[in-house]
Amino acid sequence: MRLAHMLVITIILASSASTEAITTRGIITCSNASIDSLPGDWSISDQSCLRVDLGEREPGSTIFFEISSDNQIDILLFPAANIEVYQSESSYRSESVWISESVFEAFSGSGEWHWEVPTDRAKTRWYLVIDNLAHPQDSGQGSQGGFDAEISLNGGEIISDQFTLSDSIHRVDPDDYSIVHGPFYVDEGTFVNIYARTMEGDPDIFVMTETALSYYSPSTNWSSSLRIASADMLFVNDQRYFPWMVNDDYDDPLYIIVDNRLGPGGGGAGTQDAAVTVTVTLTPILDPKISSETDLDTVNVGQVVTFSSLETPNRSQQFSMNSFTWDMNGDGNPEGSEQTIEYTWNEPGSFVVTLNGISTDSRGADSSRTITVSDLTAPEISMETSTEITKGFGDTLEIRASFSDNWGVSRLDWMLDGEIIESNYEVSEPNSTLVLAISNDFSAGQHVVSLVVTDKSDQSSQKDVLVNFIDVTAPEIEVLGSPIIETIVGERIFLQNFAVDNESEDLEYTWIIDQGSENEIQLLDSGPQVFYEFQSKGTKNVLLIVENDAGLTSYLEILVIVSEDEDDSGLGMIAIGGIVVLLITIISIVSFMAYNSAVGRKMSDFEETQDEAESELPPPPPSSEMQKQMWGSDSGYSPFQSSFQDEPIPPADPDLFDMLGVEKPQAEPEKVDELEQNLLGDLQDTPKPDDSFDDRTVRKSCESCSMEFQISLPEGVEEAYTNCPYCGHEQRISLN
């Protein structure tokens, strides 16, 4: 047992001594250098090496190498943890020991490659070895030495450009491929810069869409026409640079491929290993675009317009949120620096809007657009009332309105029924008030009041309000004489009163005779004058009602005292007859003058003052036609004629004509009572001059019934037509 133990210990010790002897013999000593000393030149003698300390590198960082050698050498790359495996002459030719992407055996000549530090480990120190030795475990692979090698070496960490997509070496087996970069999107017009450097083989480099890659990757139904041929780099066996401009707005993402298959015509054969460094960078298009949801061809004064830069091509993120500035009026001073901006022009004109963009790699570009601003909006008007306004004559109409315009108001006009009644050409306030006195110059009824507002571009708007002018005052009845009249039974009395109403064209007169009694009579629309005979004594009420166009009425009450006829013990029949004729004449003259006065007031707006020369001349005698107009012969009016036809004038007694010795008229008059017959007989047989009549009193016998009557003509009237107070026959009378 003890012997066995001794034997095991002896074997272990012997084994340890043997291992120690081998390790000691196999340690490789290389010349040392660091990346900080590069570039440099070295002479590497046969069966020697150079170890370059690359320092500790962050995962994902990229290191470039440039090398030239006049004889074959091996280029090896190890992490710090595995460099001892190489130097101890242990088996280092495996993926787990060296970094195969940066291993190039039996290399001679010149070459360049980029190596990206693996991201599957933490920050690590790395070593590059230039080997000119024959190793027992090489099995004849790679350089075996035999000659000295003169080399030049350069290297260092690459600071990538802003838009670098990929920068590393790709090792591709025969009949295989490697994806350099993808998927990625680029804007049309962007340059994709492809820079390739081969260390081994002669591969092709393709650009294709994701759809094309889906056919290419399994090599099933693959057609070289599916690639983007304009981006091809075929048979790359040295350094090659190609800036490919994207010629379409691809919706499908893109891929860049290193192809080591049998390529299309002019491409590589794909029969040997390929090692190529591919650097892909972008030069994104800088094309700031001005956009807006507003139609920029028709911009209105005062309109808020939102401008945007969001349609600017930016698939490569060449612009950040703060990359833009806006100049909205061409003065060179920016009005904003956001991706969107709101702006308003307050007057018409042509304005240049400029969008300037600075990319993240400090390149700049801008774009401009001319905006024509016009006044496209008419003024807006608001009335305080929207309903119909009713105002009476004598009242004041007041209408308030406010208005606004996107540029400015140049004038406003208030109109009544389309006619301008008030204007303002210097508008300083956004409101206006119309104050209008409603006089009888206006007609009653509905009218349209309008406000027309015109802006500085001569666009106008109109707002209407309906107004109704009404008569709020009743007619004014002019009282002629005493409101108390005395008469006798059967005597014809003349009732006359005129009314004035400047707001009405027509007045309707209604007489109510003997109001309140069983004998009440209403004379509708009978005019301002009537004749009537009361057939019974007593106190009688006569009511005159005058109604205007607006339905307003005025009233005048007349008291008539009717008494019985007296005998001759009083005044003589001749005196009574004279008084009767005198009263009739006076009433006629007063009626004529009152009527002319009323007509004069109605016609006051149309008469003109006569020339002074003409006023000094005596007025010519009126013609027959003028007398007809003055005395109303054409209209049937006479101061002795009743205005109602339902009470005919009683004809004279036939015996009276025999007693007077005159010819009997054609129309047989009705029987005249004895008192009237005696009175008329006295007037005919023994007429007596009446001192109360002057030289303008005319006595005349009726041409029809031969009854004599007298009448006084007004001053200036030499002749006239009148009606006989007994039979109504019309005839001419004259002072001559």
pLDDT at residue 606 greater than cutoff 50: no
| Sheet strands (E) in 405-507 | 409-416, 419-424, 431-437, 445-455, 460-470, 476-478, 484-488, 492-496, 498-500
- Are residues 146 and 30 part of one domain? yes
> Is 596 inside any structural domain?
no
CATH number at residue 311: 2.60.40.10
**Are residues 458 and 488 located together in one domain of the fold?**
no
* Per-residue pLDDT tens digits for 318-370: 999 999 999 999 898 999 999 999 999 999 999 999 999 999 999 999 999 99
Is 150 found in the same domain as 52? yes
Residues 6 or more apart in contact with residue 274 via CB below 8 angstroms: 170, 171, 172, 174, 198, 200, 201, 202, 203, 258, 260, 268
Measured between alpha carbons, how far is 514 from 520 in angstroms, rounded to an integer?
5
Higher pLDDT, 156 or 574: 156
Q: Render pLDDT for 358-408 as a digit per residue (tens, 0 to 9).
A: 999 999 999 999 999 999 999 999 998 878 999 888 899 999 999 999 999
Res 25 pLDDT > 60: no
Co-location of 278 and 398 in the same domain: no
Q: What is the pLDDT of residue 226?
A: 81
Higher pLDDT, residue 435 or 516: 435
At residue 644, the pLDDT reads 35
Cα–Cα distance measured from residue 20 to residue 15, given in angstroms and rounded to the nearest whole number: 9
Which phi and psi (to 5°) does residue 347 adopt? -155, 155
From 157, 192, 214, give the residue that closes a domain.
157
What's the start-to-end Cα distance of the chain, in Å? 198
Q: Which of 71-85, 405-419, 631-645 has the lowest mean pLDDT?
A: 631-645
pLDDT on residue 480: 73
For residues 637 and 711, state if they share a domain.
yes
Flag whether 660 is in a domain.
Answer: yes
- Does 411 map to a domain? yes
* CA 556 to centroid of chain Cα atoms: 63
Domains: count for the chain? 6
Under DSSP, the state recorded for 715 is T
Over residues 597-620, mean pLDDT: 44
Mean pLDDT of 722-735: 81
Say if pTM beats, i.e. exceeds, 0.75.
no
Share the mean pLDDT of the chain.
81
Query: Does the pLDDT at position 30 exceed 80?
Result: yes
Domain of 65, in residue numbers: 26-157
| 363 and 460 inside one domain | no
Do 144 and 168 have their domain in common?
Answer: no
Confidence band, pLDDT 50/70/90 cuts, at residue 20: very low
The residue from 122, 142, 157 where one domain ends is: 157
Structural domain ending residue among the three candidates 347, 374, 401: 374
Shared domain check, 95 and 32: yes
220-254-362 Cα angle (round to 5): 165
Same domain for 490 and 550, yes or no, is yes
Domain annotation covers residue 12: no
Query: How does residue 302 score in pLDDT terms, banded at 50, 70 and 90?
Result: very high
Please indicate, yes or no, whether residues 37 and 153 belong to a single structural domain of this protein.
yes
Count of beta carbons in the 10 Å neighbourhood of residue 135: 20
What's the CATH code of the domain at 56? Answer: 2.60.120.680
Q: 355, exposed or middle or buried, with CB in 10 Å at 0-12, 13-18, 19+?
A: buried
Q: Which is it for the CA torsion 6, 11, 14, 15, positive or negative?
A: negative
Given a contact cutoff of 8 angstroms between Cβ atoms, the answer to whether 722 and 703 are in contact is no
Residue 138 located in a structural domain: yes
Q: How confident is the model at residue 662 (pLDDT cuts 50, 70, 90)?
A: very low
C-alpha distances in Å from residue 476, one per residue of 140, 181, 211, 503: 144, 108, 104, 11
Angle between helical axes of 674-685 and 573-602 (0-180°, round to 10): 90
